[in-house]
Amino acid sequence: ATRGIGRKVVHGMAPSGATMIVVGRDQSRIDEVISEAKAIDGCGPISGEVCNLLEQDEIRALAERVKSQHSQLDVLVNNAGAIFTKNIKTPAGFERTWALNHNAYFLLTSLLKDQLMSSPAARVISTASEAHRPGKMRWDDLQYDKRGSMGGWSTYCQSKLANILFTKELARKLSGTDVTANCIHPGFVNTGFSRNNGLIGRLVMFLTWPVQRRDSKGAETIVWLATSEAARKHNGEYLYNCKPGKLSKAAKRDEDAAKLWGLSEQMTSTSDLW
């Protein structure tokens, strides 16, 4: 939550007076965001946690720290995301785009399930994208091992499709509880996202500058879902500008959502939590 959209979500949530936990990889950036939030009228207690969300061991340690300090969570925002053009594996053996954009969401949400269910009306919000449209679930090669190091954009689109399928199945799993799960498209926001992609990534961001949104605009739907009473009616949905968005055919397949869930439990060793 220390860059771009995540940073603006913290700013947008601050006036609510909610107790917030800011998660990031760099302590100095966390401190900057906390300092900015505290300067906003109405800001409640706010703390930071350092965690590299690419690494499952660090996510597990983060979850333990959160659980030791908080018996319930009212809102969980899964917003970390990146695209890596080189197929380099994490310590757990996963392609990095998939590990950060999907596995991290699934693992952290699973580990904090009890805290969410202890809330009278918890909300899980995940950042997806219109990039899900060309996405395909390559069930025989989710890590793009057969396609070498050139997964790049295709891997990213697959991960954004996975965010939507995860949200749909999470809402189904938690039906009958007071927890809702939704995902959002933030719009095309230049948040430093291209920093992993070299010259080509920077060129794309430059050429598309006229249609890019401010990161504060990209954060609006997340803040609305987190704080608005009107947002309570939404569950298992994909939203853009605080309204339901259109899904690709692949994002509507409930059987794929269930299949991805089972594979995700295996990839994160969380089958005992559900």
The question of whether 156 is a catalytic residue gets the answer yes
At 266, list the tokens.
Answer: 């295996």
Region class of 268: left (phi > 0), else alpha (psi between -120 and 50), else beta: alpha
Selecting among 105, 144, 156, 238, the annotated active-site residue is: 156
Decide: residue 15, CB within 10 A, 0-12 exposed, 13-18 middle, 19+ buried: middle
C-alpha 229: how far from chain center: 22
DSSP string, 117-143: HTSSS-EEEEE--GGGTT----TT-TT
Count helices and strands in the chain by DSSP H and E runs? 10, 7
CA dist 196 to 81, 161, 192, Å?
11, 21, 9
Is residue 191 a contact partner of residue 129, using CB atoms and an 8 Å limit?
no
Is residue 8 a contact partner of residue 218, using CB atoms and an 8 Å limit?
yes
d(CA 172, CA 258): 10
Region class of 148: left (phi > 0), else alpha (psi between -120 and 50), else beta: left
> Catalytic residue numbers?
156
